[in-house]
Structure 1
Amino acid sequence: MFAPLYRMLGNLSVRLKLALGFASVLLLTLATTLGGWHALNESIDSSQRLTQIAAINDLSKDLRAERITYRVLADDESRRRISATLTELERLLQSMLGQFDDAADRQVITANQQVVGQFVRDFDTLQQAVGTRHTHETALREQEQRLLDGIDTLEQKTLLGERQGSERQASEQRLFATLARHIETAGQQSRAPAYTFSPLSAFEQVGASALGAAQASLADLRRNLPPSDLQATTAALASYVQLLDRYRQAAIAVEQLQGGLETMGNQLRDASRVLTRHQIQLRDEEALEARSMLSVIALLALVLGSLAAWLITRQITEPLRRTLQAAQCIAKGDLRSDLRVSRQDELGQLQNSMQQMALSLRELIGGIGQGTGQLTAAVGELSSVAERTQVMTGNQKDETDQVATAMNEMAATVLEVARNAEFASAAATAADSQAREGNQVVNDAIGQIEQLARQVEESILAMQQLAQESERIGSILDVIKSVSSQTNLLALNAAIEAARAGEAGRGFAVVADEVRGLAQRTQQSTEEIEELIGNLHSGTAQVVHLLDSSRDLSRDSVELSRRAGAALGQITETVSSIQGMNQQIATASEEQSSVAEEINRNVMTVRDIADQTTTASQQTAASSVELARLGGQLQTLVGRFSL
Structure 2
Amino acid sequence: MRKYWGEIKQFFNNRGKRYKEDTHRFTVGRKIFIAFAIIFILIAGFSFSALSGMNSINKKSTEVEETWLPTVERLGEMRYLVEQVVAFQLFYASAETIGEMNNFDGRFEEIFTRLDELFVEYEKVLTSTEEKQVYNDFKAEWSNYLEVHDEVLTLSRANDDDSASTMIKASRQQIEVVESHISKLVEMNQNNASKAAEQGKEIFVNSMTITIVLIAFVLTAAIIMGILLARSISKPISEVSASVNQVAQGNLTIEPIIVKNKDEIGTLANDFNKMTNSLRMLILQVMENSEQVASTSQQLSLSADQTKKATEQIEFVIKEVASGAETQVNRASEANHAVSEISKGMEQAASSILAVSDLTVSTNNNAHMGQEVVSQTISRMNELENKVKHASAVIDNVGELSKEIGQIVSLITGVADQTNLLALNAAIEAARAGEHGRGFAVVADEVRKLSEQTGQSAEKIKHLIQDMQIEVEKAVESMTDGMNAVDNGMIMVRKTGDSFEEIVHMITEVSSQSQEVSAIVEEVNASTQSMVTLIEGIANISVQSAGNSDSAIVSVVQQNATMNGITTSSEELSTKASELQELVKKFKVK
TM-score normalised per structure 2 = 0.77
Determine if the alignment matches structure 1 residue 17 to structure 2 residue 35. yes
Structure 1 residues 118, 86: CA separation in 2 closer, same or farther (over 3 Å shift)?
farther
Alpha-carbon distance between aligned partners in 2 of 1:58 and 1:393, rounded to the nearest angstrom:
140
Question: 1:637 is matched with which residue?
Answer: 587
The match for 1:453 among 361, 364, 367 is: 364
Q: Give the AA of the match of 1:339.
A: I
Unaligned 5+ segments in structure 2 are: 1-25, 93-100, 247-252, 414-454
Q: Give the AA of the match of 1:336.
A: E
Q: Give the AA of the match of 1:487.
A: V
How far off is 1:45 after superposition? Answer: 0.7
Alpha-carbon contact 2:49-2:211 (below 8 Å) kept = no
How far off is 1:569 after superposition? Answer: 0.8
How far off is 1:484 after superposition? Answer: 0.7
Structure 1 residues 85, 264: CA separation in 2 closer, same or farther (over 3 Å shift)?
farther
Structure 1 residues 539, 435: CA separation in 2 closer, same or farther (over 3 Å shift)?
same
SS in 1 for 2:547: coil
The match for 2:62 among 19, 35, 44 is: 44
Q: Which has the larger displacement, 269-278 or 473-482?
A: 269-278
Determine if the alignment matches structure 1 residue 391 to structure 2 residue 305. yes
The match for 1:251 among 134, 151, 164 is: 164
Determine if the alignment matches structure 1 residue 317 to structure 2 residue 230. yes
Alignment of 1:65-144 (within 5 A): 65=84, 68=87, 72=92, 73-75=101-103, 77-98=106-127, 107=130, 110-134=133-157, 136-137=158-159
Alpha-carbon distance between aligned partners in 2 of 1:74 and 1:424, rounded to the nearest angstrom:
164
CA deviations on 1:194-219 (whole Å, 9 max, x unpaired) are: xxxxxxxxxxxxxxxxxxxxxxxxxx
Structure 1 residues 429, 517: CA separation in 2 closer, same or farther (over 3 Å shift)?
same
Percent identical residues: 9
Structure 1 residues 61, 109: CA separation in 2 closer, same or farther (over 3 Å shift)?
farther
Alpha-carbon distance between aligned partners in 2 of 1:496 and 1:86, rounded to the nearest angstrom:
41
SS in 2 for 1:637: coil
How far off is 1:132 after superposition? Answer: 4.7
The match for 1:365 among 262, 279, 289 is: 279
Q: Give the AA of the match of 2:146.
A: F
Alpha-carbon contact 2:402-2:468 (below 8 Å) kept = yes
The match for 1:429 among 340, 343, 346 is: 340
The match for 2:255 among 317, 320, 336 is: 336
CA RMSD of aligned residues (A): 3.1
Unaligned 5+ segments in structure 1 are: 1-7, 138-246, 342-346
Alpha-carbon contact 1:57-1:272 (below 8 Å) kept = no
Alpha-carbon distance between aligned partners in 2 of 1:638 and 1:541, rounded to the nearest angstrom:
24
Structure 1 residues 322, 302: CA separation in 2 closer, same or farther (over 3 Å shift)?
same
Structure 1 residues 390, 268: CA separation in 2 closer, same or farther (over 3 Å shift)?
farther
Question: 1:288 is matched with which residue?
Answer: 201
The structure showing larger relative contact order (alpha-carbon pairs under 8 Å, at least 6 residues apart) is 2
How far off is 1:92 after superposition? Answer: 3.0
Structure 1 residues 339, 69: CA separation in 2 closer, same or farther (over 3 Å shift)?
farther
Q: Which has the larger displacement, 481-490 or 559-568?
A: 559-568
Alpha-carbon distance between aligned partners in 2 of 1:411 and 1:120, rounded to the nearest angstrom:
174
Alpha-carbon contact 2:311-2:556 (below 8 Å) kept = no
Question: 1:244 is matched with which residue?
Answer: none
Question: 1:463 is matched with which residue?
Answer: 374
Question: 2:424 is matched with which residue?
Answer: none
Task: Kindly tell me the number of residue pairs found equivalent between the two proteins.
Answer: 504
Q: Give the AA of the match of 1:130.
A: L
Alpha-carbon contact 1:339-1:351 (below 8 Å) kept = no
Alpha-carbon distance between aligned partners in 2 of 1:592 and 1:68, rounded to the nearest angstrom:
175
Question: 2:432 is matched with which residue?
Answer: none
Structure 1 residues 250, 598: CA separation in 2 closer, same or farther (over 3 Å shift)?
same
Determine if the alignment matches structure 1 residue 548 to structure 2 residue 567. no
Higher-Rg structure is: 1
The match for 2:80 among 42, 61, 64 is: 61
Structure 1 residues 69, 392: CA separation in 2 closer, same or farther (over 3 Å shift)?
farther
Determine if the alignment matches structure 1 residue 382 to structure 2 residue 289. no
SS in 2 for 1:92: helix
Q: Which has the larger displacement, 494-503 or 527-536?
A: 494-503
Alpha-carbon distance between aligned partners in 2 of 1:109 and 1:68, rounded to the nearest angstrom:
28
CA deviations on 1:602-641 (whole Å, 9 max, x unpaired) are: 2332333233223322322222222323332xxx2354xx
Structure 1 residues 51, 327: CA separation in 2 closer, same or farther (over 3 Å shift)?
farther
Alpha-carbon contact 2:46-2:214 (below 8 Å) kept = yes
Question: 1:622 is matched with which residue?
Answer: 575
The match for 2:396 among 452, 461, 485 is: 485
Alpha-carbon contact 1:329-1:335 (below 8 Å) kept = no
CA deviations on 1:131-179 (whole Å, 9 max, x unpaired) are: 4532x24xxxxxxxxxxxxxxxxxxxxxxxxxxxxxxxxxxxxxxxxxx
Question: 2:210 is matched with which residue?
Answer: 297
Alpha-carbon distance between aligned partners in 2 of 1:398 and 1:264, rounded to the nearest angstrom:
157
Q: Give the AA of the match of 1:51.
A: P
Question: 1:569 is matched with which residue?
Answer: 522
How far off is 1:127 after superposition? Answer: 3.2
Alpha-carbon contact 1:439-1:565 (below 8 Å) kept = yes
TM-score normalised per structure 1 = 0.71
